[in-house]
Amino acid sequence: MLADAKPRFPPRSHLFAPCSFEIPISFEIPILKKPGQLFQNNMAEIQRSERACRDNERKFPSAPFVLELRRAPQIAIAQMPTLLAKNAEILVTMDGQRRELKNAGVYVEDGFIKQVGPNEELPAKADTVLDLSGQIVLPGFVNAHHHLNQTLTRNLVAAQNNNLFPWLQAQYRIWARTTEEASRVSTLIGLAELALSGCTTVFDHTYLFKNGNNVDCQIQAAKDLGVRFHASRGSMSLGQSQGGLPPDDCVEDEAFILKDSERVIQTYHDASPGSMTQVVLAPCSPFSVTTSLLRDSAALARQYKVRLHTHLCETRDEERYTLERYQLRPVDWMETHGWLGDDVWFAHAIHVDDDEIRKFAQTGCGAAHCPCSNMRLGSGIAPIKKYMAAGVKVGLGVDGSASNDASNILLEARQAMLLARLQIGLLPPDGPRKYFLLSQSHPVRANEWMTAREALELATLGGASVLGRSDIGSLEPGKCADFFSLDLHTIGYAGALHDPVAATLFCAPQSAKFTVINGKVVVRDGEVVTMEMKPVIETHNRCASEMANALEI
Ligand SMILES: [Zn+2]
């Protein structure tokens, strides 16, 4: 940054040029970023960080565009990076017609899809070319609920065989020891595992900010890895002495929570198409936050037009808690505080009745279905097929890695499909009593079956809808270039290629061959290529051990 450099603005027409343009400047290049719109440059040395842009915003508050000034070579060519992914054996678009194309590919400019179609119709060249022969390409999956920091306490012995409340109580104080270093590496581990399973957009719900943990380091980790990230400034404010579940030393002061929430939104939230970073306000749960924090968080979120999220209707224990404390069921309690709306989605949403499902549909509330966690903790089975029939937005979440204990979104989609099927065996069909003895395969019950394509839709378009994004979830011109591929010619898929699309869920989850996010290759040949992961794993294991050992777990 040249502190004394005088900012200069090229003509606006340059900023919106559809293809390359030259900037013949002798010693400085103004890199322009209209709020929310990033102009990529193909020179690695002038790649900028969001943080530097924020500095510029403060420095040049009246500038029509954000400036970042850096030393540069004598002449720079600024052009949109392109990527061509071709020769896919099959490509699942998830577009309006749900087209599945054979021998097809995607052409990408500047992080956005320019063309989707048969190989012969795509441009012949690009800066990066991926040959996806023998592979299936799917839109990048969206993870709608996670706690990345919990990779530090996977498979904790004291929390292996209990349901939610005792499981939480076994871990709160360990999580409270999360340092900034531990937070960064656990975020990287979780995001990398997700990217390796085809996930390209991740919502994370961190709510325990003690001992140096902060949202900033998580956002930076996601940028470094290259994953599209929706961070939460989560919170807990209701300690045990006030009737909450978490210990008092694990909750924060409400005034500080709100102040820091505002800071995080102002610093990082980008609502523009193609955004790589968004912020969500996410008080943790009915049994760990006060009513005033719920109300104030909703007001703040709406002031800044960011989304709201919390856990709801996860267990019968929670239902008992709100009935005893507030004389209301969880959904009614949330409604009294302005928490039903199309800017809200709830994690789990298992224990709901038909009226509450209708209420979600009418108000536009979404749900993040987390089948692995729900089975692991014995929480119950969310009525996903009923939600879908009612028009409720549903996405998938792997939930915290301490209750999964994986961050594998392809596995989660498979479990969503399987768990919905188990539910058919546990419950009689809706309707007259004469239906009760109907076979599960009776035509009257056909709609109760979740198909592989429905589960794939939850993982893509469904997740995008609960996060409020119309620019991800499908492969269409104008959408973000987020997709992944799976090698169909492996042992795991052998014999299942009558229907390769369904094979991705009926067969055991395989690792992504390629994962592309924002037009950039993050996973290549089954390996994360944006970062050396081995040292991250080492540091992660050291941090996990230090945290657990400190409490003699
Ligand atoms: Zn959760």
Confidence grade of residue 364 (pLDDT, cut at 50, 70, 90): very high
Tokens of 181: 């270093």
Burial class (CB in 10 A: 0-12, 13-18, 19+), 59: middle
- Cα 222 to ligand 1 centroid, rounded to whole Å: 19
Q: Which amino acid is at 472?
A: I
C-alpha 512 to ligand 1 mean position (Å):
25
Judge whether 286 and 333 are in contact, CB under 8 Å. Answer: yes
CA of 241 to the centre of ligand 1 (A): 23
User: Which residues lie across from 451 on neighbouring strands?
Assistant: none
* Ligand 1 centroid distance, CA of 284 (Å): 8
| pLDDT confidence of residue 27 | 31
pLDDT band at 550 (very low <50, low <70, confident <90, very high): confident
Say if residue 9's pLDDT is above 80.
no
Q: Where in the chain is the domain with CATH 2.30.40.10?
A: 82-140+475-528
Domain with CATH 3.20.20.140 in the chain: 142-466
Q: Are 453 and 502 in contact (CB under 8 A)?
A: yes
Q: Give me the pLDDT at residue 431, please.
A: 85
Instruction: Please give the pLDDT value at position 1.
Output: 36
CA angle 99, 105, 111 (to 5 degrees): 105
Residue 541 pLDDT exceeds 70: yes
Structure token digits, residue 344: 């809200």
- Rama region for 72: left / alpha / beta (φ>0; ψ in -120 to 50; rest): beta
Which residue type is seen at 175?
A: W
pLDDT tens digits for range 100-134: 999 999 999 999 999 999 999 999 999 999 999 99
Distance 146 CA to ligand 1 centre (A): 6
What are the DSSP E strand ranges found in 313-433?
A: 344-348, 366-369, 393-396
Give the Cα-Cα-Cα angle 290, 291, 292 (nearest 5 degrees): 90
What are the residues facing 101 on neighbouring strands?
91
| Ligand 1 centre distance from Cα of residue 141 (Å) | 18
Name the percent of the chain lying above pLDDT 90. Answer: 82
Ligand 1 centroid to residue 72 C-alpha, Å = 46
Inter-CA distances, 278 with 68, 259, 441, 542, Å = 21, 18, 43, 30
Q: Is the pLDDT of residue 78 over 90?
A: no
pLDDT greater than 90 at residue 507: yes
How many Å lie between the centroid of ligand 1 and the Cα of residue 400? Answer: 6
Inter-CA distances, 326 with 221, 282, 321, 507, 533, Å:
40, 21, 8, 46, 47
Cα of 42 vs centre of ligand 1, distance in Å, is 39
User: What CATH number matches the domain at 142-466, 2.60.90.10, 3.40.190.10, 3.20.20.140, 3.30.420.250?
Assistant: 3.20.20.140
State what percent of residues in the chain have pLDDT above 70.
85
Flag whether pLDDT at 462 surpasses 90.
yes
Distance in Å, CA 508 to ligand 1 centroid: 25
Arithmetic mean of pLDDT, 317-325: 96
Residue positions counted in the chain? 553
Distance, CA 43 to ligand 1 centroid (Å)?
A: 40
Cα 147 to middle of ligand 1, angstroms: 6
* 370 CA from centroid of ligand 1 (Å): 8
Give tens-digit pLDDT for 52-67.
555 555 555 554 444 3
What is the structure's pLDDT at 195?
A: 98
pLDDT value of position 23: 37
* Ligand 1 centroid to residue 321 C-alpha, Å: 18
Q: How far does the centroid of ligand 1 lie from the alpha carbon of residue 311, in Å?
A: 6
Which whole number is the average pLDDT over 326-330? 97
Q: How far apart are CA 159 and CA 164, in angstroms?
A: 9
Contact (CB, 8 A) for 481 and 128: no
Task: Please list, in sequence order, all residues whose beta carbon lies within 8 angstroms of the beta carbon of residue 326, skipping any fewer than 6 positions away.
Answer: 333
pLDDT score, position 55: 56
Nearest CA among 91, 203, 136, 85 for reference residue 510: 136
Beta strands in 320-468 (DSSP E): 344-348, 366-369, 393-396
**First-to-last C-alpha distance (Å) of the chain:** 48
Quick one: average pLDDT of 437-462?
95
Cα(55) to centroid(ligand 1), Å: 34
Separation of 89 CA from ligand 1 center, angstroms?
A: 36
Q: Note the pLDDT of residue 37.
A: 36
Look at residue 42 and tell me whether its pLDDT is greater than 90. Answer: no
| Interval 173-190 mean pLDDT | 97
For residue 7, report the distance from its CA to the centre of ligand 1, in Å: 46
Reported as a single tens digit per residue, the pLDDT across 239-293 is 999 999 999 999 999 999 999 999 999 999 999 999 999 999 999 999 999 999 9
Of 91-100, 148-157, 168-177, 433-442, which gets the smallest average pLDDT? 433-442
Q: How many angstroms separate the alpha carbon of residue 150 from the centre of ligand 1?
A: 10
Q: In angstroms, what is the span from residue 382 Cα to ligand 1's centroid? A: 14
Which pLDDT score, from 0 to 100, does residue 434 have? 86
Report which of residues 325 and 41 the model is more confident about.
325
Query: Is the pLDDT confidence value at 75 over 70?
Result: no
What per-residue confidence (pLDDT) applies to 212? 94
Confidence of residue 96 (pLDDT cuts 50, 70, 90): very high
Whether the pLDDT of residue 474 is over 70: the answer is yes
- What per-residue confidence (pLDDT) applies to 179? 97
pLDDT confidence of residue 551: 67
Beta strands 128-131 and 199-203, pairing class = unpaired
56 and 67 in contact (C-beta within 8 Å)?
yes
Tokens of 237: 């404010």
Secondary element (H or E) of residue 52 = helix 50-59
- What whole-number distance in Å separates Cα of residue 24 and Cα of residue 16? 17
Q: Are 261 and 231 in contact (CB under 8 A)?
A: no
Q: Does 82-140+475-528 carry CATH code 2.30.40.10?
A: yes
Query: By three-state DSSP, how is residue 325 classified?
Result: helix
Tokens found for residue 533: 């992961």
Contact at 8 Å (CB) between 485 and 198?
A: no
